[in-house]
Structure 1
């Protein structure tokens, strides 16, 4: 970032980023050209390092922190410091931490795509996200077993541009909410859910231009 001022895309998945801690003077570097930063599966990366990277790259549009098990509230710093962020992948966020922190209590109008699959997110965090990231178009909540129908309804209510939501293997979200989502949010065009119960709602969904994907023992139905 210091020596390549025109670089826009950096991919360093599974490379040990974070093992060597960043120094405070590294924060003095600012590279406004970096738009895409992919750091998935870096188990040494922590909140402090992510915060410093967000300071260095204030114009980030897409960041991948999936499978970074030591990161939680650092992801909020990305949302706070990178005012142009549009796509954030946080799947398996903070899976190595005892305490999970991802409470977004400020507006992030630029964020369109958010992946929180397997992130231990609860209805409380989902409520804050729905009101702060109200321009979301795609939201993945796969394997989020702490969220319920009430949390999903908040997302559908406040995210008026929502086009896709994945609730695959969300054990505490009943498939009964699917019809309500389609009728409430006309922009919704794709729902992913792990239950054959979707089949009975197929005609309703199709009549509203929405496709429901479900997976049962590896077979998919659209």
Structure 2
């Protein structure tokens, strides 16, 4: 790196900004590669700082708050979900910078809603359009009214899985006094948030009535997510959908993990089935349909195909009742499905994949995890024929793998694949993952969770796949890293939780020295001395 006492080049700031923006646009994760550039000169530093649009605050940093927000003047997104400290106080400090153009705020995973801080924040920073407050331990009905009071111009809202509310509904299932208050709160929210486009109410205590109010009153609503809302029936969903025919994305599920009955599955018979299907296919602009843990009929898939709904994302995760004929009909008559999720499908086999791939020319990602009749042959059929496919999830598939690694050489090289999830496959060993590394050289994410036959082969994978940024070896208790005698230039996140005694402090130090961009390590039950933890911290690694 060369520095001078005068200007770095004849190029003006605007030209450098275009160059740096090009680097960011190519891959958002490349933002970290701008850090060395910012050290070249004050000119580069002044250009790069305004390019940062998002900021995550982890720990109390009161002395640094003012310098941070003076440096990054163009921030639009704040993530405080991992912040440990006085959140009310932090929000008050941030509100002292009213020139900030913050549009998105995440305050999830907190004991309570920071009411005082949000009020001050809303008074001074009026640009917020998206609020995420998922998994709040004690979410009260008054919090809904607070959101309405502070952020009437919200376009996106996530209040999913409030922990206290779920426990309360188990005690007062349907008509409890508190439950009625939640229903009224959702009604007030739907009347006030006139610009709401997207809402996530998964696990939230709502019923048919409150859902009806939401879809009727929010004229601009485009996307609704409501997994594990056990007091909503399919009649309720059908009635509500007829109030908002412009909906483009719908996600809901059957029974949740909280022990409630699967009302939606029990009601899907006779007239209810026809009424529900009719309401669903009336959404002529539906591009995303995500169903989980539901009993569905082929007639639903046939109807979607007949109506020609423009689905680009189809999720039937853990769904039962439908057959291969139904999914074949939908995919063969559909146009442009880019994301397909058939997790835990019981009938899909390798031959079915061969018959379906010709309809999946636009496919970008697919999830076939838990499909125990599939083998890795299905994986290679997809990558060979779906040229846009960049992500595959095939965890815990058929236990009997066909053929050997030598026979896979004929499949060639497929550089388009960027993310591969192969966790919990008992047939996966060193020989196979090394072969996969040769076939998929541009992998950026590799998840091998609980692959108990993998040991030193992972070192050869890292050598061949030099673009890997995220590596999950959780539960791979035989994995060995001591053979890494080369630089791993782009690895940023490493999960080694549950690896047991095979990974030592010495091995970890060796790994960090070779992985020059490593920023996050999940060690799980691996205990490190304070000295070693300080060593990792000095190198910029966050230990989880």
TM class, shorter-chain normalised?
A: 0.7 to 0.9
SS of the equivalent of 1:176 reads helix
> What does residue 47 of structure 1 align with?
376
Match of 2:506 in 1: 176
Structure 2 Cα separation of the partners of residues 10 and 208 of structure 1: 39
CA offset at residue 28 of structure 1? 7.5
Is the CA contact (8 Å cut-off) linking 1:27 and 1:52 kept in structure 2? no
CA distance in structure 2 between the aligned counterparts of 1:190 and 1:20, rounded to whole angstroms: 37
Q: Provide the residue aligned with 1:212 in structure 2.
A: 543
- Where 1:18 maps in the other structure, the secondary structure is coil
Between Structure 1 and Structure 2, how many residues are aligned?
206
Structure 1 portions without partners, runs of 5+:
214-222
Q: Which runs of no fewer than 5 residues in structure 2 stay unpaired?
A: 1-330
| Mapping of residues 29-178 of structure 1, within 5 Å | 29=358, 31-70=360-399, 80=412, 82-93=414-425, 95=426, 101-104=432-435, 106=438, 108-151=440-483, 153=484, 157-171=486-500, 172-178=502-508
* 1:98 CA displacement: 10
CA 158–122 in structure 1, closer or farther in 2 if over 3 Å, else same: farther
Residues in 2 aligned to 1:45 and 1:92: alpha-carbon distance in whole angstroms: 14
1: CA distance between counterparts of 2:351 and 2:367?
18
Q: Give distance in 2, aligned partners of 1:108 and 1:174.
A: 29
Measured in 2, the distance between the counterparts of 1:129 and 1:99 equals 9
Q: Give the structure with the larger helix fraction.
A: 2
SS at match of 2:378: helix
Distance 1:180 1:59, change over 3 A: same
The worse-fitting range, judged by mean Cα deviation, of 113-122 and 14-23 is 14-23
Tell me which structure has the larger Cα radius of gyration: 2
How far does residue 187 in structure 1 lie from its aligned partner after superposition? 0.5
Q: C-alpha separation between the residues in 2 aligned to 1:192 and 1:17?
A: 36
By relative contact order (CA 8 Å, sep 6+), the higher-ranking structure is 1
> In the alignment, is the contact (CA less than 8 A) between 2:348 and 2:371 conserved in 1?
yes
Question: 8 Å contact 2:357–2:382 — kept in the other structure?
Answer: no
CA distance in 2, matches of 1:22, 1:69: 14
What is the CA deviation profile of residues 65-114 of structure 1, one whole-angstrom value per residue up to 9, with x for unaligned ones? 1121437689x86x956431111111112x26899733326263421000
- Paired residue secondary structure (1:165): strand
Question: Pick from 322, 328, 341: which aligns with 1:11?
Answer: 341
Secondary structure of the equivalent of 1:37?
strand
The separation in 1 between residues aligned to 2:374 and 2:352, in whole angstroms, is 10
Contact 2:353–2:381 at 8 Å: present in 1 too?
no
- Aligned-pair distance for 1:31? 3.2
More off after superposition, 44-53 vs 133-142: 44-53
Task: Note the aligned Cα RMSD (angstroms).
Answer: 3.2
Q: Partners of 1:180 and 1:97 in 2: how far apart?
A: 26
- 8 A contact 1:38–1:64 mirrored in 2: yes
Alignment correspondent of 2:3 = none
